Structure 1
Amino acid sequence: MLFHISKIATRMLMALLAVGIIFQTACRPEAQQAAKPFVVYEKAGQKYPITINGSLGSLTLKKKPERVVVLGTAPVDLVVALGIDPVAIEANLWGGDENGYMPWFKEFMAEEKRPLPPTLAMYPELDAEKLVSLNPDLIIAPQSGLSEENYRLLSGFAPVIAHPHKPWMTTVDEQIDIIAAAFGKQEQAAELKAQIEAQYADFQRRYPKLQGKTFAYIYSGGRSPQLSVYAKGEPRVDTLYKLGMKMAPELEKLSLDRGSWSINLGLENADKLNQSDIIVTWFHSEADQKVVEARPLFREIKAVKRGAYLPLLDREVNTAMYQATPQSLGWGLRRMDQEWRRIEKALD
């Protein structure tokens, strides 16, 4: 989620800069930054030094980090899967429990008999005092909404790994490669990817009637009669592709606004969704769902009329399918089994 750094944090950084104790490892973003490889080794066959490039800047690690703070979604699953215990993680206020933990994360840590790391508030403001007290030597946020301003401020606390090309648009494979490289765990990266691919393959075997079907993953808010279609490259859309489905060709052709991950379609153009076998959407609340489903143009969408319509209200499930990590993907797919069975029957 996006967050704001408090005025207290800014004052703290200015004070640190004044006495000269901050060191900056991140480089200023350059026009050619995005074209660089994400990970660059100084010498072939050696794990360090390593330079990690991103859309907001670059950093060089000379040794394995010891005190790591993890921000954003998904990276925390990958960090702990690689055997790293972070000193703190961002509290998930949208889908997590009262302490900000996701259920699959808690289950994984319990199975591993590892303690849960402390959570760090990032919204509506960064808990700067707590972050400073943790004395991190690396902040990991490759799947996040970090702005350039917040990236620079956080870089005053510690080196930061931010998104490599766009906010919230880093694939799980990219996250694995970046995080594994940062910790010198390159050999384990392939294993994590294999775990994910095995779960996708299992789904494809279990739900043969869904294979090759077209879908549209949409959002239609309860307050405004607008309609958005998530584009290919957006994490939850990519998850459906890997499950064996695909976007309708006419939706793939729609132009994506710069800096966005969805296409504004407008409810008046809902008939453009009629080539999609399946409609997937999510809602903030049951009240929003009732408002949207009461709209005649929405009810007339073919997939909605025949029941090949998957409305998601469960925030845990939404988050699990969005993150699609080894831990979250299996958890989410198990929770959605009956819904996918229902969709299969609706397609008969």
Structure 2
Amino acid sequence: MSSSTSRLSALAALTVAGGLVLAGCAGTPGTETAGSSDAPAGSADAFPVTFEHMYGETTIESAPERIATWGWGATDAVLALGIVPVAIASMDYGGGDNRITPWVEDAIADLGGEEPAILDNATFELSVEELLASDPDVLIAPYSGLTQEEYDAVTGAGIPVLAPAEALWSTPWREVITETGKALGLDAEAEQVLADLDQQVADAAAEHPEFDGTTIAYAADDVDTFYLYLPADPRVEILEDLGFVTAEAVTALDTGEATFYTTVSSENLDQIDAEVIFTQVDSEDQLQTFLTSDRTKLIPGVASGAVGAIVGEENVAAISPTALTLPWILPQVVEQLAAATAAAQG
């Protein structure tokens, strides 16, 4: 598996997350940075609050003002709740030269104030020294690869940590939002973020009744390995929430090797019998290879031209759902699906 596919596999391993829904939280409720008088204040009645997680138990005694984040989705959740963190993980896939994804950059600009410190995430190892230099009140890292050693070092410095609940890179994306809201004393606001997300995907589905009941397969070709994403993957769930039905061929080809994807050998590609094929690629060159190679054209939907594609690292990164990626990528997803469905039905 290539480094980009490996990274996105980690980001997409939200396994049995609740239904993947998209929606607009373009308007976030706050207007200033964390710790400012205008930032949303967590309810005092919500504290102290205690979390049980894979490394034990964490209690946050009072509403934190200086929030640091680590992993995937936590930064977006904090920003969607109207607060700019003091430190965030770098995004080395899809983040551009400044290592900040465009939806995060937009949210920081909208909220105003100082940009957060960027914690080097190139090796997926947390530099506790970098983190502590930002003087945080809490570290929010529910969907991350935070190790026991890193957890012990941060908590040993007196910083409470919201760690993954059961296993690394496994917390469902919706829980990242609700747990972040709970940690900040903004439970109701977090529920509203999710309600807004639900509404936008429902609106998109209503605008495209042709999606309803159309069979689909989410596929990715990575040189020597062909991947099919399964219904447990949130990237597939978005398609189903929009009305598509995962083709029976997808689950029939599942080898049980992982919860959210399966691999398919070249001789079985012609068995991927779906009206629409959806894929993700890093570049237009890769897309053309996917559309025209003798190998992928064994798939009936590719041969007929009924393919929707998300192209470019930042767009592929955005497919993995968070409070901010969903509204950012939804228009492109819907546009691609509409064209592919028209080709399939046309």
- The question of 1:319 aligning with 2:320 is answered no
CA contact (8 A) 2:82 2:111 kept: no
Shift of residue 150, structure 1, vs aligned partner: 4.6
State the match for 1:284 in structure 2.
282
CA contact (8 A) 1:221 1:283 kept: no
State the match for 1:101 in structure 2.
100
Query: Superposition pairs for residues 248-267 of structure 1, below 5 Å?
Result: 248-252=247-251, 254-257=254-257, 261-267=260-266
Higher relative contact order (CA 8 A, sep 6+): 2
Task: Give the percent of matched residue pairs that are identical in Structure 1 and Structure 2.
Answer: 28
CA contact (8 A) 1:99 1:119 kept: no
2-structure distance, mates of 1:161, 1:266: 40
Amino acid at match of 1:239: I
Q: Secondary structure at the match of 2:222?
A: coil
Amino acid at match of 1:66: E
State the match for 1:78 in structure 2.
77
2-structure distance, mates of 1:308, 1:338: 13
State the match for 2:181 in structure 1.
180
Shift of residue 200, structure 1, vs aligned partner: 0.3
Structure 1 unaligned blocks of 5 or more: 4-44
Aligned positions, number: 302
- The question of 1:298 aligning with 2:296 is answered yes
The structure-2 alpha-carbon separation of the partners of 1:186 and 1:277, relative to structure 1 and needing over 3 Å to count, comes to: same
1-structure distance, mates of 2:310, 2:151: 32
Shift of residue 197, structure 1, vs aligned partner: 0.8
Asked which structure has the greater CA Rg, the reply is: 1
Shift of residue 178, structure 1, vs aligned partner: 0.6
Q: Secondary structure at the match of 1:227?
A: strand
Residue deviations 1:66-86 (CA, integer Å, cap 9, x gap): 322111222212112212331
Q: Secondary structure at the match of 1:220?
A: strand
Let me know the Cα RMSD of the aligned residues: 2.8
Amino acid at match of 2:275: D
State the match for 1:34 in structure 2.
none
Shift of residue 133, structure 1, vs aligned partner: 1.2
CA contact (8 A) 1:239 1:321 kept: no
Residue deviations 1:90-142 (CA, integer Å, cap 9, x gap): 11111113212222222233333344322211112544432121232321122
- The question of 1:47 aligning with 2:57 is answered no
Amino acid at match of 2:301: A
State the match for 1:309 in structure 2.
307
Shift of residue 213, structure 1, vs aligned partner: 2.0
CA contact (8 A) 2:145 2:169 kept: yes
1-structure distance, mates of 2:55, 2:278: 33
The structure-2 alpha-carbon separation of the partners of 1:294 and 1:184, relative to structure 1 and needing over 3 Å to count, comes to: same
State the match for 2:13 in structure 1.
none
| 66-75 vs 162-171, which moves further | 162-171
The structure-2 alpha-carbon separation of the partners of 1:238 and 1:324, relative to structure 1 and needing over 3 Å to count, comes to: farther
Structure 2 unaligned blocks of 5 or more: 8-43
Shift of residue 234, structure 1, vs aligned partner: 2.2
Shift of residue 169, structure 1, vs aligned partner: 3.7
Shift of residue 271, structure 1, vs aligned partner: 2.7
Residue deviations 1:170-203 (CA, integer Å, cap 9, x gap): 3332112111111111111221111101110121
CA contact (8 A) 1:231 1:263 kept: yes
Residue deviations 1:224-264 (CA, integer Å, cap 9, x gap): 1x222222232322222222223223434635335x53212
State the match for 1:198 in structure 2.
199
- The question of 1:207 aligning with 2:208 is answered yes
- The question of 1:238 aligning with 2:237 is answered yes
Residue deviations 1:133-177 (CA, integer Å, cap 9, x gap): 123232112222335555445544533223334443433321121
Shift of residue 295, structure 1, vs aligned partner: 4.1
2-structure distance, mates of 1:110, 1:308: 38
Residue deviations 1:35-78 (CA, integer Å, cap 9, x gap): xxxxxxxxxx9522322123444322222223221112222121
Of residues 321, 337, 342 in structure 1, which corresponds to 2:339?
Answer: 342
Residue deviations 1:306-337 (CA, integer Å, cap 9, x gap): 22212332222222231242x32222122345
Q: Secondary structure at the match of 1:312?
A: strand
CA contact (8 A) 2:92 2:121 kept: no
Q: Secondary structure at the match of 1:122?
A: coil
State the match for 2:138 in structure 1.
138
The structure-2 alpha-carbon separation of the partners of 1:311 and 1:287, relative to structure 1 and needing over 3 Å to count, comes to: same
2-structure distance, mates of 1:148, 1:249: 41
Query: Superposition pairs for residues 145-164 of structure 1, below 5 Å?
Result: 145-148=145-148, 150-157=150-157, 158-164=159-165
State the match for 2:20 in structure 1.
none
CA contact (8 A) 2:269 2:296 kept: yes
TM-score (norm 2): 0.77
State the match for 1:331 in structure 2.
328
The structure-2 alpha-carbon separation of the partners of 1:111 and 1:67, relative to structure 1 and needing over 3 Å to count, comes to: closer
CA contact (8 A) 1:53 1:59 kept: yes
The structure-2 alpha-carbon separation of the partners of 1:192 and 1:72, relative to structure 1 and needing over 3 Å to count, comes to: same
